[in-house]
Amino acid sequence: MPLHIRGSETTEAVRRLAQARKLTLTEAVKTACEEALARDEAKQPVSERLAAVHARLRAARKTGESADKAFFDREWGE
């Protein structure tokens, strides 16, 4: 799916990034987007970033296993 960028300032910024990092224009756009998303994610509180993990753990069925030293030794093959 083609992406049409309108705006000479935006086009120039993508070209400068591509040239500075020796990337194609497509790679430059992808890199810029991924880095911006990573920065946004890093700004979220840890509790929000871990919410999905916590929800999965709460939903997991109980095994009845005891998580003591013997359990972990057995899991690690010791």
Query: pLDDT digit string (tens) for 29-50?
Result: 999 999 999 999 899 999 988 9
Helices 25-43 and 8-21: crossing angle, nearest 10°? Answer: 100
Give this prediction's pTM: 0.61
Determine the Cα–Cα distance for residues 65 and 56; give it in Å rounded to an integer.
Answer: 18
Q: Find the mean pLDDT for residues 24-30.
A: 96
